[in-house]
Amino acid sequence: MKTTVESSLKFLDPRTLAKLQGLTLRARRIVEGFVAGLHRSPYRGFSVEFAEHREYVPGDDIRYLDWKVFGRTDKFYLKQYEDETNLICYLALDVSESMSYRGPDSALSKLEYAQCIAAALAWLVLQRQDAVGLITFDSQIRDYVPPSNSPARLSELLTVMEQTPSANKTAISNTFRQLAQKLTKRGVVLVISDLFDDAANVLMGLRHLRHRQHDLAVLQILDPAELSLPFDRPTLFRGLEGLPELTTQPRAIRAAYRAELDAFLQQLKRGCSDNEIDYRLISTAQSFDVALSAFVSSRRRVR
CATH number at residue 215: 3.40.50.410
Residues 71 and 159 occupy one common structural domain: no
Residue 14 belongs to a domain: no
**Structural domain boundaries, residue 63:** 50-83
Residue 281 belongs to a domain: yes
Residues 144 and 240 occupy one common structural domain: yes
Residues 167 and 214 occupy one common structural domain: yes
Residues 115 and 173 occupy one common structural domain: yes
Residue 147's nearest CA partner among 136, 159, 134, 164 is 134
Burial of 123 (0-12, 13-18, 19+ CB in 10 A): buried
CA distance from start to end of the chain:
40
Residues 118 and 78 occupy one common structural domain: no
Residue 38 belongs to a domain: no
Residue 16 belongs to a domain: no
What's the pLDDT at 70?
Answer: 75
Residue 134 belongs to a domain: yes
| Domain total of the chain | 2
Residues 233 and 294: beta-carbon distance below 8 Å: no
Residue 281's nearest CA partner among 237, 218, 229, 188 is 218
Q: Tell me which residues of the chain have a pLDDT lower than 70.
A: 1-11, 35-54, 56-61, 63-64, 79-86, 166-167, 234-244, 298-303
What's the pLDDT at 47?
Answer: 35
What's the pLDDT at 25?
Answer: 81
In the chain, the DSSP E strands lie at 50-55, 77-81, 88-94, 131-137, 141-148, 188-193, 215-222, 235-237, 246-248, 278-283
Residues 138 and 255 occupy one common structural domain: yes
Residue 201 belongs to a domain: yes
Residues 76 and 105 occupy one common structural domain: no
Residue 20 belongs to a domain: no
Residues 115 and 134: beta-carbon distance below 8 Å: no
Residue 44 belongs to a domain: no
What's the pLDDT at 45?
Answer: 31
Element (H, E) at 205: helix 199-211
Please give the Cα distance from 121 to 42 (Å, whole number). Answer: 12
What's the pLDDT at 191?
Answer: 97
Residues 150 and 221 occupy one common structural domain: yes
Residue 53 φ/ψ, nearest 5 degrees = -100, 155
Residues whose CB falls within 8 Å of the CB of residue 155, separated by 6 or more in sequence, listed in order: 24
Furthest-apart CA atoms within the chain: distance in Å: 74
